[in-house]
Structure 1
Amino acid sequence: MRPRISPAHQVYKLLQRPFPLPPASSCPSTRAFVLHHAKAHRPQLHLRNCVGCGTVRRPLTTTSNPASPSLAPKSLLTFAVVAALSFALSVYIRSERNSISHGDMAAPESETNGQTSVAVDDAELLDLLGDPSKINPARPGTLTAEQEVILREFWVLAARAFGIVDQELLDVLNDPTSGVPNENVALDGSKRKKARALFSRKKKEGEADSLSKPDSHTSEPVEKATNDVSKLSIEDDKHGMTKQFKEALTKYSSADLRTAFWDMTKHDHPDALLLRFLRARKWDSQAALVMAVSALHWRLAEGKVDVEIMKEGEEGAQRWAQSEDPDVKGEGEDFLEQLRLGKSFIVGADKVGRPICLIRTRLHHAGDQSESSLERYTIYTIETARMMLRPPVDTAALVFDMTGFSLANMDYAPVKFMIKCFEANYPESLGVVLIHKAPWIFSSVFSIIKGWLDPVVASKIHFTKNVEDLEEFIPKSRIIQELGGDNKFEWKYREGIPGENDKMKDTETAERLKKRREEIVSSFEETTFEWVLKSTLLSRGVTTQGDEKIDEAAIEKIKRKRHTIAKELRDNYWELDPYIRARSVYDRLGWFPKGPEAGQLIKEDVTQVKLNESSEEET
């Protein structure tokens, strides 16, 4: 049977090659075809995710190519014919083609038989060009179709690093034609060339598959389970994340990395944690994996976040301060001194509900505390603020109070450490930075600091001179009187209460809750594999798997199930929290929730009452 000539190819023939064009199969939609090829050389309208350009999954960028021949028709008559035919064919195509979901990212939305289809509407093109009012926040539950595809890719890569890839899913991903009807025959009847498997590499003859699911009782080195990802790297890598990534693959087992990931998740939605790394790496799933594993390596080897800093907490610092070892004693005393001074503390929330960390720079003097104690205190504050976050709020606000600042207060080492924390280990956690009442001598200091900052982080910095400037970001009722606001709160450290950490001695209950958490984690992982598997099969046109029907409704049901399990994971964490984390001054102030409900810092009325009550009690 003679194959039907696509509408796009008819336009191609009509124009008689006045400019280079890709094969018609690259642009099955005439509308996308005309939008792309009729405007390809206009700087503001070059849609680079068209397969015809040889570029896939790239954001919309401005591109000009003056050397290319003009795309305008040779005569007005030709132009009129092309316009009329394009309109008629676009109506025809809309009546025949299946609807395609579109996101806010310039990337292909669906894949069929190994070919990518792209369809763009005029309104969506405007969105892609940067209409800020329609930018999707890219959070769990609000992802576009394309973002979901990349998130699924990231989960597969992460599962490889954790050594938990499901074998059935692995078989499907390694064979892009798996489950597709007539998979060896192309649409034109010719023999199909086998496509390269997703995330795969060419295996040497006789080499066994490196990604089989490991035995649950073994703890094999992760490099044996991640041959496909061990050579990944990040191009713009000023923090040495690639090096840490490779060290993690050789130093830690897959089980160690998996445990570190779920420890880092805490009460957060697992998708939300991965999405932080994806957004930070501009939706490059492989670069995001390098960054995520690097962060896990840092938490395990350098930060010792969960096994020491948060577990021991302030009570541990008090115990260290009584040590006979001068180094240990100094670490404990330095940590407690910063808390008692109130060098930095969390107080209230800004207009969008972000917890505010106030840093009083005049109280810092280089050399007063050791570098390690400064880093420990920084990590402790960041982790504490992170535990106050509740959806949809997932970032914090920093306010640097520069009142009384002099060069004697400047210390570059902790500034560099803080920058690395937010850029490499806690990506997408910083919402806004306010530098308040900076003196003129700070301008030269800031010019140096700005050179160290990622442009995205630098764009979040704002200078404020008075309380009116602060009110653009924080309601006056939440600004403490020290900064000219109405909040009467004054920082005074509340010492630990005897017996406040007694639950940490109840190892039996802790183990029971940890066991339950492992069951929930396993359930989430299995449901995630099901989500990836069935979504992949559906994208290939497969509508059944055994006796199960695969359609959009089935996929939505799986997604809802994942969210339900994520809620169970969150609830479980708050039950487990008092058994694995020492109480902090914020627990004693009553600013932490007693369970998974919204944190009190997010509610203005409760925040104000709590802050005022604590202030009156202390004074």
Structure 2
Amino acid sequence: MATPEKREMELEPKYDDYDYPITAPEPRDGHPGYLTEQQQAQVHQLRLMLEAQGFKERLDTLTLLRFLRARKFDVNLSFQMFVDCEKWRKDTKLDEELPNWEYPEKKALFQYYPQYYHKTDKDGRPVYIEQLGSIDLTAMYKITTAERMLTNLAVEYERVSDPRLPACSRKAGHLLETCCTIMDLKGVGLTKAPQVYGYVRQASAMSQNYYPERLGRLYVINAPWGFSTVWSMIKGWLDPVTVQKIHILGSGYQKELLAQVPPENLPKEFGGTCACAEGCENSDAGPWHDEQWAREPKWAKKGDASTTIQGAPSEVQEGKAAAEGAAAAPAPAEDVAGAKATA
């Protein structure tokens, strides 16, 4: 396949108000800075179709491109995906909740389901970590509700879009649109698997349907016995582009993980050297808190909330759901060192 030609992306002043780099770091078909004339025309077509239906928000070029890439540049399918997303936002009142959202039960929930952002990988992307071994939904629902958990999940997706990724893009000097996710399955065995994967699958549906094209890399670590075998079968059904993003690793994951995440950015419990004073899971350290790179998120300007963005759920996207398909298979609790089906 020929390398896509680099060309300046056509912007729409009415919607494209970017204060960070907007060219992809490498030539990739359909990505900003490497669009064909036809793809640029499809962006215009999709925007016109949405405007005709009365939509006025989120019509910037980068957002429309993500929806187009998610549907292989089929404009009609991208249109329907966008419309469904906007309906969901309206039904959940997400845009009203976002500026003033508070989630004081987060720390109490962390004892059952740690989910947090922590620094960046070697490509400059936010690193997002989930540890599923302690999930106890019965106990968690005594602390909060399923509705609040899902609302917080959506809020964190929004905070990835702004301010996390823009800050990372400024620091990197090029556009970054994805995250690097670490999903730790240590402790997930036969009895816990249905509860764990049932909830995670529900959360992943949100990422696939409403936040497309956010997966950069996904490392599933401490994968239990049987996971890799099932994965080797189902990956044949997936888009090769998605498969390349997913790495299934057993308990001997450190070498491969450290090839992507600098040791100083990876918590000690995963083989890195970072030990934040308040605990890595509580620090939310990253460029989005550095005055040199951080900016007030645009959604904050629509409300009176502070711009504090302590990390919680987000990212995993289309690849996470794919990995969960393998995870749904029964598997004993013990890990198999080095079990691996790396894409």
Q: What TM-score do you get using the length of structure 2 for normalisation?
A: 0.65
1:313 matched residue in structure 2: 101
- Counterpart CA distance in 2 for 1:461 and 1:159 is 36
1:337 matched residue in structure 2: 108
SS of equivalent to 1:432: strand
Return the offset for 1:478.
Answer: 1.3
Matches within 5 A, 1:583-598: 583-585=308-310
Report percent identity of matched pairs: 25
The reply on whether 1:576 has 2:301 as its aligned counterpart is yes
Does the 8 Å contact 1:346/1:358 carry over to 2? yes
**Equivalent residue in structure 1 for 2:254, among 467, 491, 498:** 467
**Equivalent residue in structure 2 for 1:301, among 91, 99, 110:** 91
**Equivalent residue in structure 1 for 2:224, among 434, 439, 443:** 439
Counterpart amino acid of residue 313 in structure 1: W
Return the offset for 1:361.
Answer: 1.2
Residue by residue over 1:168-209, the C-alpha shift from the partner in whole angstroms, topping out at 9 and shown as x without a partner, is xxxxxxxxxxxxxxxxxxxxxxxxxxxxxxxxxxxxxxxxxx
Counterpart amino acid of residue 297 in structure 1: K
Bigger-Rg structure (1/2): 1
- The 1:134/1:382 distance shift into structure 2, 3 A limit, reads closer
Answer with 275-284 or 572-581: which moved more.
572-581
Does the 8 Å contact 2:115/2:131 carry over to 1? yes
- Counterpart CA distance in 1 for 2:236 and 2:147 is 24
Q: Give structure 1 stretches of 5+ with no counterpart.
A: 1-59, 61-101, 106-132, 163-256, 319-332, 495-569, 588-619
Answer with 407-416 or 270-279: which moved more.
407-416
- The 1:577/1:584 distance shift into structure 2, 3 A limit, reads farther
**Equivalent residue in structure 2 for 1:482, among 269, 275, 291:** 269
2:138 matched residue in structure 1: 367
SS of equivalent to 1:352: coil
Counterpart amino acid of residue 403 in structure 1: K
**Equivalent residue in structure 2 for 1:358, among 96, 109, 129:** 129
Return the offset for 1:375.
Answer: 2.3
Between structures 1 and 2, the one with greater helix share: 1
SS of equivalent to 1:369: helix
- Counterpart CA distance in 2 for 1:378 and 1:420 is 11
Q: What TM-score do you get using the length of structure 1 for normalisation?
A: 0.38
Return the offset for 1:458.
Answer: 4.4
- The 1:572/1:135 distance shift into structure 2, 3 A limit, reads closer
- Counterpart CA distance in 1 for 2:63 and 2:306 is 20
The reply on whether 1:158 has 2:23 as its aligned counterpart is no
Does the 8 Å contact 2:235/2:243 carry over to 1? yes
Counterpart amino acid of residue 96 in structure 2: V
Return the offset for 1:412.
Answer: 2.8
- Counterpart CA distance in 2 for 1:442 and 1:366 is 23
Q: Give structure 2 stretches of 5+ with no counterpart.
A: 6-25, 170-174, 284-294, 313-343
- Counterpart CA distance in 2 for 1:381 and 1:300 is 17
1:192 matched residue in structure 2: none
1:143 matched residue in structure 2: 35
The reply on whether 1:415 has 2:206 as its aligned counterpart is no
The reply on whether 1:382 has 2:157 as its aligned counterpart is yes
What's the Cα RMSD here?
Answer: 3.5
Does the 8 Å contact 2:274/2:280 carry over to 1? no
1:18 matched residue in structure 2: none
Residue by residue over 1:241-285, the C-alpha shift from the partner in whole angstroms, topping out at 9 and shown as x without a partner, is xxxxxxxxxxxxxxxx43xx34xx7xxxx1100110011111111
- Counterpart CA distance in 1 for 2:61 and 2:90 is 21
- Counterpart CA distance in 2 for 1:155 and 1:277 is 11
SS of equivalent to 2:216: strand
2:72 matched residue in structure 1: 282
